[in-house]
Amino acid sequence: MNLIILGPQGSGKGTQAKLLVEKLGLVYLEMGEVLRELARKKTPLGEKIASFQSQGKLVTDEIIAEVLKSFLTEENFKKGILFDGFPRNLSQTNLLEDELKNHQVKIDKVIFLNISFQESLRRLKARRICPTCGANYNLVTMPPKNGKLCDQCGSQLITRSDETDEAIKERLGVYQKETLPLIEIYRQKGILLEVNGEQSVGTIHLEILKNLGS
């Protein structure tokens, strides 16, 4: 089974994706985390990605294509792949479709976690990361147990450098313009599963599994 999970930033895609990967044994492609990892490396590609991220902008499709192809292997397709944070626009959708055709596979279901613009903004402003071990938290939906300290290593949590107010609003604007139209495309294909993303984590997970027949 090959799945895509879509939704605005802060919708809980990452949380639900990891639950599905654990439950269904899928290969996880979280494009945002892959790009952030590359951005931390002092390579020409990494520096290009870092430049885009510091401005709150999406990287080019050429960069995405380079990253994507390394994941689309026969071995991974046998297990099934969950795409998180990809595709983000029509050109990336077409890129993915072409690659899937080359491997004679398809996307079985597109999960859309729908939350309001206001809720997305509220959640994004509450995101925190541990600078020591890289653990992610959200003061609204997934707070640490001990104030603003990391549960895993006890370090003081910080706001990600690419999550200034300006960068957040820029990303949400891009999402509404470029990613939201994909929802209707997948709806017309009959493979869209729309879920209210403002419910509890457990409720959303169970609803997704029920609709996937798992």
Check whether the bond before 44 is cis (ω within 30° of 0): no
Q: Is 128 a catalytic residue?
A: no
What does the alpha-carbon distance between residue 128 and residue 57 come to, in Å, rounded to a whole number?
A: 20
Of 88, 109, 123, 128, which one is the catalytic site residue?
Answer: 88
* Residue for token pair 């595709």: 87
13 carries an active-site annotation: yes
| CA 47/CA 45 separation, integer angstroms | 5
Bridge partners, residue 28, by sequence: 82
Which candidate in 36, 109, 127, 128 is catalytic? 127
Which of 48, 57, 122, 160 is the catalytic position?
160
Does the active-site annotation cover 57?
Answer: no
**CA-CA-CA-CA dihedral for 79, 112, 178, 44, to nearest 10:** -40
Residue 42 appears among annotated catalytic residues: no
DSSP three-state, residue 17: helix
Using CA atoms, how far apart are residues 157 and 204, in angstroms rounded to an integer?
27
Residues in the chain: 214
8 A C-beta contact, residue 108 and residue 3: yes
123 is a catalytic site residue: no
Task: For the chain, state the CA radius of gyration.
Answer: 17
* Catalytic residue (choose from 109, 123, 128, 171): 171
Cα(157)–Cα(148) distance, rounded to whole angstroms? Answer: 6
Q: Are 3 and 107 in contact (CB under 8 A)?
A: yes
Q: Which residues are catalytic?
A: 13, 88, 127, 160, 171
